[in-house]
Amino acid sequence: MNNANPNKFANMATLAAFGLSRRGVIFAAAAGATIAFSPLAYGAGTIKVGLSGPFTGGSSSMGVSMRDGVKLAAAEINAAGGVLGKQIQLVERDDEAKNELGVQIAQELIDKEGVVATLGYINTGVALASQRFYQENKIPVINNVATGTVISKQFLPPEHAANFVFRISVPDVIQAEMIAAEAVDKRKFTKLAILADSTNYGQLGREDLEKSLAKRNLTPVAVEKFNIKDTEMTAQLLRAKEAGAQAILTYGIGPELAQIANGMAKLGWKVPMIGSWTLSMSSFIDNAGPNGEGARMPQAFIQEPTTPKRKAFIDGYTKAYNVDRMPSPVSAAQGYDSVYLLAAAIKQAGSTDGDKIRQALESLKEPVEGVVTTYNQPFSATDHESQALGMAVMGEVKGGRVSFAYEEDRKDAAKVRTKPKN
């Protein structure tokens, strides 16, 4: 691994914001790769941060990408001197996308490990079951990937004195609107079938999607459900075909999405697939192969070096983990950004107290340059979503990877789309 290239780390301005001199930043950039992947000499002067997600199983392409993005950012910050003079110590746990295991992990990270915050959550069900423990203990949790609309609204005031749940990912209410706009407004389809998995993610997303279609005076001609690990979609697809569906809208989290594309190929029936962001995962692209070409989905980040910051991140990630294509670029980028947001909040708070970190996240004074966007006061006491409608773009599977669906979005990609200040 060539670790002398400073492009594999955050730019000078970002690292300098954590109090390191230019000379120190250059040193950190040169040394950071070694620090990232060798055991750190953690001592009393560390800040423990939980890192929870599915690192094995059907959701692992999302979980591993998110985890590796988090680790890369933490290594950069630690190489630059840490936060408040302390190193960030990540405490990793694999929740296997299981709600009950997520609950156990949350309790362990809080009670045994004493984390000051937790980053992660890939699956909506795991988040909804687990984040209440952080809420009860006044410890911030930043959802990096889970998109269920209700996630950031589970503990809203005035029912709760304060909300400790934040989110980096694009919520389903926005994704559903983008999917409906793509299918109906842009491509003029009038007969649409929905195929959603039986998880909380799939069913809550389906509800959001049906609401977005209803706003356009459309009712799906077929609404079908499938289970995790299902390998046969013929019955659902036949019903959609017989109903005259012009396109399939999907909401699912695993490689089962590939079975939809492959199932259509078996039937000799080819209609467009338009779905949630998970159609960008390697588990769909690799398992669907040529049958997945043309699938479209909302994307907060596409693995293309459209800005210097994104190029540095892509170069750093691909070199550090020896890959050409990230398994889930969106998950990696959002995980990476979450560390810098948390570090900025801790620095502003001047403390690792959970309530002070929450207050700082809700009132960040300095912009945080991320990979997905530049976060300029992204949160407030009543809004814990970092994404707004109009920030994400439509991606499309082309040649075995995700690219921009529309050329105008590619041409405009160097312009960072930001959320209006809270």
User: Is residue 65 within 8 Å of 329, Cβ to Cβ?
Assistant: yes
Q: What are phi and psi of 272, to 5 degrees?
A: -60, 145
Asked if the model's pLDDT at residue 330 lies above 90, the reply is yes
Q: What's the one-letter identity of residue 274? A: I
Each residue of 86-113: pLDDT tens digit? 999 999 999 999 999 999 999 999 999 9
Assess contact for 320 and 331: CB atoms under 8 A. Answer: no
* DSSP H or E stretch at residue 179: helix 172-180
Answer yes or no: is pLDDT of 393 > 80. Answer: yes
Own/partner pairs for 108-113, CB < 8 Å, 24+ apart? Answer: 109/50, 109/52, 110/134, 110/137, 110/139, 113/48, 113/50
Cα separation of 261 and 242, whole Å? 17
What is the pTM (predicted TM-score) of this model? 0.89
Ramachandran bin of 120, using left for φ above 0, alpha for ψ from -120 to 50, beta for the remaining angles: left
E strands, 218-358, are 222-226, 247-251, 273-275, 296-299
pLDDT digits (tens, 9 = 90+) for 235-289: 999 999 999 999 999 999 878 999 999 999 999 999 999 999 999 999 999 999 9
Each residue's pLDDT tens digit, 10-22:
443 444 444 333 3
**Per-residue pLDDT, 272:** 98
Tokens found for residue 26: 């250059």
Q: How high does pLDDT run on average in the chain?
A: 90
User: At residue 333, does pLDDT exceed 80?
Assistant: yes
What confidence tier does 351 reach under pLDDT thresholds 50, 70, 90? very high
HSE, CB side, 13 Å, CA atoms: give it for residue 86.
18
- pLDDT 10s digits, 103-139: 999 999 999 999 999 999 999 999 999 999 999 999 9
- Residue 418: CA count within 13 A, CB half-sphere: 16
% the chain with pLDDT above 70: 90
* Torsion region of 142: left, alpha or beta (phi above 0 gives left; psi -120 to 50 gives alpha): beta
Which domains does the chain show, CATH number per domain? 6-170+302-387 (3.40.50.2300), 172-299 (3.40.50.2300)
